[in-house]
Amino acid sequence: MSDTKVDILKFADKDGEYKRKPSVFRDFISSKAGAKFPPEAGRYHLYVSYACPWAHRTLIVRALKGLTALIGVSVVHWHMDDKGWRFPSNDDPCEGATEDKIYGVKRLRELYFKADENYNGRFTVPILWDTKTETIVNNESSEIIRMLNSEFNSLLDEHHAKIDLYPSDLQQQIDDLNDWIYPNINNGVYKAGFATKQEPYEKEVKALFEKLDKVEEILGNRYHHGEHYLTGNILTEADVRLFTTIVRFDPVYVQHFKCNLKMIRYDYPHIHQWLRELYWTIPSFKDTTNFSHIKFHYTKSHVGINPHHITPIGPIPNIVPLGKFK
């Protein structure tokens, strides 16, 4: 068994640039005949953190698709220490977190070693776990949300089965958006925040805001034509994937990751409207967003960035109600 420890800043290279490690477990739940992992009610389980934007994607799609009764969830403590994520206990409580509902393990790393005793990578969330074969199906959020979107439709009621976050006629447009939003915005905040030298930090933060300006322009054009989402009037995975970064932007990334050239609520009126419409009008977004877990995790887990573990009070509120200001 590996004794790998989590030190988030060690992933910056000699030039001070943050390099995200790729996910390792990449199997797929499939409704095709003879699939290794077929869709079954109650068979699969999600391990998530409310703090993590990648895990947040899977919670949103699970809710949007009406899969909450078919796929269970265990939620880790918001704090991540040098051994990674852990579950709460009687002497280490955490409101909103749960015990491991499948095995009762104390740490997420135990699941990785259960799946592969020689595993030596990072202990990340989300995990899509198969309780039948007792292994990790997949730990890459972008692939998990695709499975949740399409592969369980035969088990769903007609309304939820018809919800399609990756419709065939919009797939190219969605893929094109993902291709520049992921590296520059979703991961861009991390590349800025985890940079250990000035030059890579400035490069990444400038690229981040250039692409936020581009999103603002896209949404401005959409609203001008009476549309409300990135690809038009249909909610897609592109909106889900961007939302989990934008909802954390003002509360965390502005100060903690030094992404402070602009704020969403003051400088990006169309992104701000889009964010609030998703949060306040679609329960799957609001109900899966836990600002306490989000703010406590970043500010109290990243000791290299915030050694005194002080969590800022603001901004107040974490997200502005609809109709307050634009």
Q: Does 295 reside within a domain?
A: no
Q: What's the domain range around 37?
A: 8-162
Q: Which of 138, 162, 186 is the last residue of a domain?
A: 162
Q: Which residues are catalytic?
A: 52, 190
Structure tokens at 241: 């994937």
Asked if residues 245 and 191 have their Cβ atoms less than 8 Å apart, the reply is no
Q: Is 95 annotated as a binding residue?
A: no
Alpha helices in the chain (DSSP H): 53-64, 109-115, 141-150, 158-162, 171-181, 188-193, 198-224, 237-248, 254-256, 264-267, 269-281, 283-286, 291-301
Same domain for 145 and 180, yes or no, is no
Q: Does 263 reside within a domain?
A: yes
Q: Is the pTM of this model over 0.85?
A: yes
Q: How many angstroms separate the CA atoms of 175 and 180, rounded?
A: 9
Q: Is 123 annotated as a binding residue?
A: yes
Asked if residues 50 and 293 have their Cβ atoms less than 8 Å apart, the reply is yes
Same domain for 89 and 152, yes or no, is yes
Same domain for 205 and 278, yes or no, is yes
Same domain for 127 and 103, yes or no, is yes
Q: Does 319 reside within a domain?
A: no
Domain containing 102 — which CATH number? 3.40.30.10
Number of domains composing the chain: 2
Residues in contact with 106: Cβ distance below 8 Å, sequence separation at least 6, in sequence order: 86, 87, 89, 100
Q: Is 140 annotated as a binding residue?
A: yes
Q: Is 141 annotated as a binding residue?
A: yes
Same domain for 152 and 15, yes or no, is yes
Q: Identify which of 67, 73, 74, 75 has the alpha carbon closest to the alpha carbon of residue 40.
A: 67
Phi and psi dihedrals of 19, rounded to 5? -120, 110
Same domain for 14 and 107, yes or no, is yes
Same domain for 253 and 127, yes or no, is no
Same domain for 128 and 205, yes or no, is no
Phi and psi dihedrals of 196, rounded to 5? -115, 5
Mind listing the pLDDT tens digit of every residue in the chain (326 residues)? 544 444 544 656 667 788 777 888 999 999 999 999 999 999 999 999 999 999 999 999 999 999 999 999 999 999 999 999 999 999 999 999 999 999 999 999 999 999 999 999 999 999 999 999 999 999 999 999 999 999 999 999 999 999 999 999 999 999 999 999 999 999 999 999 999 999 999 999 999 999 999 999 999 999 999 999 999 999 999 999 999 999 999 999 999 999 999 999 999 999 999 999 999 999 999 999 999 999 999 999 999 999 999 999 999 999 999 987 64
